[in-house]
Amino acid sequence: MGVCVGVEEGGSARERKSKMERANGRPARREREVSLEELRERLANFAKEREWDQFHSPRNLLLALVGEVGELSEIFQWRGEVARGLPNWSASDKEHLGEELSDVLLYLVRLADVCGLDLGSAALTKLVKNGHKYPVTSQSQQQLSLRSRPAGDDLPV
């Protein structure tokens, strides 16, 4: 399964894309696919080269993961509600966020690996299960279309 990393690029097509993506609250980036398998393999090599396999037990990795979730939470602590796309955040705050999100992802991938689980397959299976548990209804469709209305475009009361 693929996740995306951003690589900046130039040109006017990029500017158009950037505007569009900012409107959707997503960063202006070109995406390249990075598979969970690539991350799994690189993490396994990283640990092996440093002789860290002895420390990377499931329990230790879980505790490290929870620690990183704590560091991630600290970034949002006391800020109040945060707008999608983080429009008022500094570049360095965003960079910090990217690092903490990555630490969480990396420990999660590593934890699944040492537990012998295929995380991508497990996640896809869970998505299907979620779909059965929370089926799309006409009401949820309605809520979605209301949410996508531009600000100020209120419904008549």
Point out which residues bind ligand DCP (CB under 6 A). Answer: 52, 55, 71, 103, 106-107
Complex with ligand DCP: residue 36 or 106, whichever CB lies closer: 106
Q: Smallest distance from the beta carbon of 141 to ligand DCP, in angstroms?
A: 40
**What is the phi/psi pair of residue 6, to 5°?**
-95, 140
Q: Smallest distance from the beta carbon of 104 to ligand DCP, in angstroms?
A: 9
Identify the DSSP state of 32.
Answer: E
β-bridge mates for residue 33, sequence order: 4
Q: Smallest distance from the beta carbon of 98 to ligand DCP, in angstroms?
A: 12
Complex with ligand DCP: residue 52 or 76, whichever CB lies closer: 52
In terms of Cβ atoms closer than 10 Å to its own Cβ (0-12, 13-18, 19+), residue 110 is buried
Identify the DSSP state of 153.
Answer: -
Complex with ligand DCP: residue 21 or 99, whichever CB lies closer: 99
